[in-house]
Structure 1
Amino acid sequence: MAANNRRMSGKKGAQVGSGGQRRRGLEGKGPTPPAEMRKGHKKNRVANAKAKQAVRRPTVRGRGGKGTSELVVGRNPVLEALREGVPASTLYVQQFIDNDERVREALQVAAERGGINLMEAPRPELDRMTNGLNHQGLVLQVPPYEYAHPEDLASAAYDDGVDPLIVALDGVTDPRNLGAVVRSVSAFGGHGVVVPERRAAGMTAGAWKTSAGAAARTPVARATNLTRALEAYKKAGITVVGLAADGESEVGELPALDGPVVIVVGSEGKGLSRLVGETCDHRVRIPMPGGAESLNAGVAAGIVLYEAARRRS
Structure 2
Amino acid sequence: MAGNDRRRGAMRKPGTKKGMVVGSGGQRRRGLEGKGPTPKAKDRVSHPAKRRADAKAKAEQQRQRQRDKKAEGPELIAGRNPVAECVRAGVPATGLYVAQGIDADDRVTEAVRDAGMRGISVIEVQRSELDRMTGGALHQGLALQVPAYEYAHPDDVLTAAHDSGMPPLIVALDGVTDPRNLGAVIRSAAAFGAHGVIVPQRRSAGLTAVAWRTSAGTAAQLPVARVVNLTRTLKDLKAEGLMVVGLDADSDITSDELDLATGPLVVVVGSEGRGLSRLVRETCDQTVSIPMAGSVESLNASVAAGVVLSEVARRRRQR
Fold similarity call, TM over 0.5: yes
Equivalent residue number for residue 91 of structure 1? 96
User: In 2 relative to 1, CA 139–302 (structure 1 residues): closer, same or farther, beyond 3 Å?
Assistant: closer
Name the CA distance, whole Å, in 2 between partners of 1:132 and 1:116: 24
User: In 2 relative to 1, CA 105–289 (structure 1 residues): closer, same or farther, beyond 3 Å?
Assistant: closer
- What TM-score do the two structures reach when normalised by structure 2? 0.66
**Identical aligned residues as a percent:** 57
Equivalent residue number for residue 80 of structure 1? 81
User: In 2 relative to 1, CA 136–282 (structure 1 residues): closer, same or farther, beyond 3 Å?
Assistant: closer
1:260 Cα deviation (Å)?
0.6
Q: Which runs of 5+ in 2 are unaligned?
A: 1-65
Equivalent residue number for residue 115 of structure 2? 113
Contact 1:251 1:286 in 2 (8 A): yes
Contact 1:194 1:223 in 2 (8 A): yes
Equivalent residue number for residue 300 of structure 1? 304
Give the residue type in structure 2 aligned to 1:70: E
User: Does the alignment pair 1:198 with 2:202?
Assistant: yes
Contact 1:64 1:145 in 2 (8 A): no
Equivalent residue number for residue 153 of structure 1? 157
Equivalent residue number for residue 290 of structure 2? 286
Equivalent residue number for residue 246 of structure 1? 250
1:254 Cα deviation (Å)?
3.1
- What TM-score do the two structures reach when normalised by structure 1? 0.67
Name the CA distance, whole Å, in 1 between partners of 2:299 and 2:278: 19
User: Does the alignment pair 1:235 with 2:236?
Assistant: no
Pairing partner for 2:270 from 266, 269, 286: 266
Q: Which runs of 5+ in 1 are unaligned?
A: 1-60
Equivalent residue number for residue 14 of structure 1? none
Pairing partner for 1:69 from 71, 74, 89: 74
Name the CA distance, whole Å, in 2 between partners of 1:302 and 1:228: 25
Name the CA distance, whole Å, in 2 between partners of 1:213 and 1:139: 14
Give the residue type in structure 2 aligned to 1:101: D
1:264 match: secondary structure? strand
User: In 2 relative to 1, CA 269–62 (structure 1 residues): closer, same or farther, beyond 3 Å?
Assistant: closer
Q: Give the aligned CA root-mean-square deviation in angstroms.
A: 3.2
Deviations 1:178-231 (A, max 9, x none): 222122212221111111122212222332332234323222211122111111
Deviates more, 1:85-94 or 1:127-136: 127-136
Give the residue type in structure 2 aligned to 1:200: S
Name the CA distance, whole Å, in 2 between partners of 1:305 and 1:137: 36
Deviations 1:1-37 (A, max 9, x none): xxxxxxxxxxxxxxxxxxxxxxxxxxxxxxxxxxxxx
Name the CA distance, whole Å, in 2 between partners of 1:308 and 1:132: 40
Contact 1:267 1:296 in 2 (8 A): no
Count of residues in Structure 1 that have an aligned counterpart in Structure 2: 246
Name the CA distance, whole Å, in 2 between partners of 1:110 and 1:237: 46
User: In 2 relative to 1, CA 267–120 (structure 1 residues): closer, same or farther, beyond 3 Å?
Assistant: same
Deviates more, 1:193-202 or 1:205-214: 205-214
Give the residue type in structure 2 aligned to 1:85: C
1:309 Cα deviation (Å)?
1.6
Alignment of 1:1-80 (within 5 A): 67-72=72-77, 77-80=78-81
Give the residue type in structure 1 aligned to 2:223: P
Contact 1:65 1:144 in 2 (8 A): no
Name the CA distance, whole Å, in 2 between partners of 1:254 and 1:103: 46
Name the CA distance, whole Å, in 2 between partners of 1:306 and 1:124: 43
